């Protein structure tokens, strides 16, 4: 379970860095943000929804065996 948390953490850090670089490039007019901005927002919504489902699966359906009484 700890390995999954580390992998997800690194993926989220990578996404934050990627979106930050894209936003900075848009602020400096290196790229056009009209189409990219909408794609970023919809991508974040999709990622949020899928992470909520994954969190539900891990917390409800896959129970931690360490919390059970012997």
Structure tokens at 9: 């953490």
Taking a C-beta distance cutoff of 8 angstroms, is the pair 32, 26 a contact?
yes
pTM score of the predicted model:
0.52
Interatomic CA distance for residues 26 and 69, integer angstroms: 55
Residue 65 has pLDDT above 70, yes or no: no
Structure tokens at 63: 């129970």
Q: Give residue-wise pLDDT tens across range 4-31.
A: 888 888 888 888 888 888 878 877 888 7
Q: What rounded mean pLDDT belongs to the chain?
A: 78
Confidence of residue 69 (pLDDT cuts 50, 70, 90): low
Could you tell me which residue, 64 or 39, shows the higher pLDDT? Answer: 39
Name residue, tokens 């670089």. 21
């Amino acid at each position: 379970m700890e390995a999954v948390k580390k992998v997800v953490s690194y993926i989220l850090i990578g996404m934050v860095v990627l979106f930050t670089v894209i936003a900075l490039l848009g602020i400096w007019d290196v790229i056009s943000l009209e189409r990219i901005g909408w794609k970023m927002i919809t991508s974040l919504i999709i990622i949020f929804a899928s992470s909520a489902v994954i969190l539900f699966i891990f917390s409800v359906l896959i129970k931690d065996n360490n919390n059970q009484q012997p």
